[in-house]
């Protein structure tokens, strides 16, 4: 047996960077470098400590500044922490676990963000694992020998007494203990103001916003109109685009109830229909000459999106595509399956969902035109999606080390919008969808002040609205909707509308923070969905009818 003494700082590392020597600090930095080298999903903040006596082998490891991992800790799976967190000796953290700032964990605690299936007939160790994940807020004290099970959310400022077995969510500010853990008392008492009173205050703001948006709609359209080109651009100084024409039609229909007055309705229809390729049914992006670029097919991202934007703009004008969309009229069920399988679900789930959305919408237009798509094509698309939905996330595709769940959630919105939502079919695994969306919505990279943009927020709001009838985690959904809606209303620019990205002092000057048609069209829909989740959407005085319409459109 070795007689070498173990450095006590390995077990009590909170004073490591103050009390250790130069050699120890060099060795610690080298250890941290070895942990992240070759692992794009790992990132360690400033002044962290990871004991050489800890077993650290997660796929994703993101430690905030001044977070330490003591001797004997065992870490696997996906762990993300904020700053000033402590993982004390012999703590076990496995599965999907996310912590805020200042989470302090006592020794011998187990935080298990996964579980085994237990169906009879098969040994448990041979059954698949499930992982709903565990989320822990800020300023949480977790005592020694605590066990936290998969799917639990721990609210900020709470305390988990030593030995507690936590099987259900813990409210913010609560002190809980026992097996199973129950409320002992409050560390921070909950707000005494009832939720309905808060909703009434927000409802008044929503009503004022809706009235203002309608008053300023004409100015927004005038601002984006290029009289020289006789076309809409997203904003002054930008080049006219196909999408800008469609966005202008959506905004005018939503807020004014008419076509944009810069052209007659028949002129808008003729313009959009004239851009469709008579042979393929594709609408390509505009070139410098203002005409569609030749030779592009539905594999092009813009061509795929124009199936939505142009199709719904024509629909709002009481018209339709004049030519068949050969993407669906010339396909077969087998080709649809091959198409879905070939999409980049593991590397770019957003782009995969983008093209499923377009394919589903093309089927919607062909169905309304007389059902010219071959038999079995719709069934093949829905069948593939149902069979390939991940039962752990309720979605398709994989998280990525650099973007986390962003491509998965955004891809789910696009794929489900064009299929399940558009055709009125229930999504598979709705409660897992809610779990995944709420976990993603706590990622500060995408949802902190100034980081939110219209795409990322819409792609959270719509799935939560689509699964609202489950009642699952409804209080958390409403809390998120209330906070994001309140911030969104403050982003409106007078006579200019919304920018695509939420403005803030840190993002001032970025192109995405300039108000434009795309940001306005998307945030108007977002405001409606968030308000409807809170039961106050009637105060807006509008309801989306185009790309972002809530009702099924293909029935």
The set of catalytic residues is 116
Interacting residues of 27 by C-beta distance below 8 A, sequence separation 6+: 52
Separation of alpha carbons 380 and 333, rounded Å: 5
Other CB atoms within a 10 A radius of the CB of residue 258 amount to: 10
Separation of alpha carbons 312 and 250, rounded Å: 8
Residue 369 tokens, joined:
């035109």
Other CB atoms within a 10 A radius of the CB of residue 459 amount to: 27
Residue 471 tokens, joined:
């009642």
Interacting residues of 163 by C-beta distance below 8 A, sequence separation 6+: 143, 144, 145, 146, 177, 178, 179
CA 398-403-405 angle, to 5 degrees, is: 45
Interacting residues of 372 by C-beta distance below 8 A, sequence separation 6+: 324, 329, 366
Assign 372 to helix, strand or coil.
coil
- Which of these, 385, 363, 382, lies nearest to 374 by C-alpha position? 363
Separation of alpha carbons 30 and 25, rounded Å: 9
Residue 54, Cα to own-chain centre: how many angstroms? 34
Residue 327 tokens, joined:
């993407």
According to DSSP, the residues that pair with 453 across neighbouring strands are 501
Query: Residue 102, exposed/middle/buried by CB under 10 A (0-12, 13-18, 19+)?
Result: buried
- Rounded to the nearest 10 degrees, how much is the dihedral formed by the CA atoms of 310, 316, 319, 325? 30
Separation of alpha carbons 312 and 397, rounded Å: 27
Interacting residues of 297 by C-beta distance below 8 A, sequence separation 6+: 280, 282, 303
Give the number of residues written for the chain: 555
């Amino acid at each position: 047996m070795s007689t070498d003494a173990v450095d006590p700082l390995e077990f009590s590392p909170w004073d490591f960077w103050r009390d250790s020597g130069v050699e120890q600090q060099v060795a610690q930095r080298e250890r941290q470098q070895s942990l992240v080298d070759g692992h794009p999903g790992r990132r360690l903040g400033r002044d962290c400590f990871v004991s050489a006596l800890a077993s650290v082998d997660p796929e994703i490891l993101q430690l905030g500044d001044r977070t330490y991992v003591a001797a004997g800790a065992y870490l696997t799976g996906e762990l993300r922490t904020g700053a000033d967190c402590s993982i004390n000796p012999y703590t076990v953290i496995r599965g999907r676990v996310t912590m805020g700032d200042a989470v302090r964990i006592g020794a011998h605690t187990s935080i298990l963000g996964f579980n085994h299936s237990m169906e009879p007939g098969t040994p448990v160790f041979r059954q698949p694992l499930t992982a709903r994940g565990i989320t822990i807020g800020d300023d949480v004290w977790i005592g020694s020998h605590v066990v936290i099970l998969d799917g639990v959310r721990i609210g900020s400022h709470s305390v988990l007494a030593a030995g507690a077995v936590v099987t259900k969510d813990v409210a913010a500010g609560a002190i809980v203990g026992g097996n199973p853990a129950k409320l002992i008392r409050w560390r921070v008492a909950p707000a005494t103001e009832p939720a309905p009173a808060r909703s009434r205050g927000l409802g008044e703001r929503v009503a004022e916003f809706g009235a203002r948006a309608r008053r300023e709609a004409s100015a927004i359209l005038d601002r984006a109109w290029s009289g020289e080109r006789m076309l809409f651009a997203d904003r002054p100084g930008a080049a006219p685009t196909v999408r800008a024409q469609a966005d202008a039609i959506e905004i005018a229909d939503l807020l004014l109830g008419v076509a944009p007055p810069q052209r007659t309705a028949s002129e808008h229809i003729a313009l959009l229909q004239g851009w469709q390729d008579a042979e393929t049914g594709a609408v390509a992006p505009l070139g410098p000459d203002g005409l569609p670029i030749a030779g592009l097919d539905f594999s092009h991202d813009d061509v795929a999106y124009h199936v939505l934007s142009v199709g719904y703009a024509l629909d709002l004008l009481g018209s339709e595509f004049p030519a068949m969309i050969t993407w669906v009229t010339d396909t077969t069920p087998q080709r649809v399956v091959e198409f879905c399988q070939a999409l980049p679900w593991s590397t770019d789930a957003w782009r995969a969902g983008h093209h499923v959305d377009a394919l589903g919408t093309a089927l919607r237009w062909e169905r309304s035109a007389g059902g010219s798509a071959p038999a079995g094509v719709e069934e093949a698309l829905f069948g593939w999606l149902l069979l390939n939905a991940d039962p752990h996330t309720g979605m398709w595709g994989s998280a990525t080390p650099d973007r986390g769940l962003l491509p998965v959630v955004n891809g789910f919105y696009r794929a489900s919008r064009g299929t399940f939502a558009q055709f009125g079919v229930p999504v598979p695994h709705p409660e897992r969808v809610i779990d995944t969306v709420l976990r993603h919505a706590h990622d500060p990279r995408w949802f902190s002040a100034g980081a939110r943009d219209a795409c990322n927020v819409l792609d959270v709001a719509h799935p939560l609205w689509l699964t609202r009838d489950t009642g699952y985690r409804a209080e958390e959904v409403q809390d998120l909707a209330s906070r994001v809606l309140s911030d969104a209303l403050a982003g409106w620019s007078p006579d200019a509308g919304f920018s695509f990205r939420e403005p803030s002092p840190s993002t001032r000057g970025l192109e995405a923070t300039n108000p434009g048609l795309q940001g306005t069209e998307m945030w108007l829909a977002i405001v409606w969905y968030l308000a409807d989740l809170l039961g106050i959407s009637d105060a807006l005085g509008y309801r989306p009818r185009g790309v972002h319409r809530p009702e099924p459109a293909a029935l």
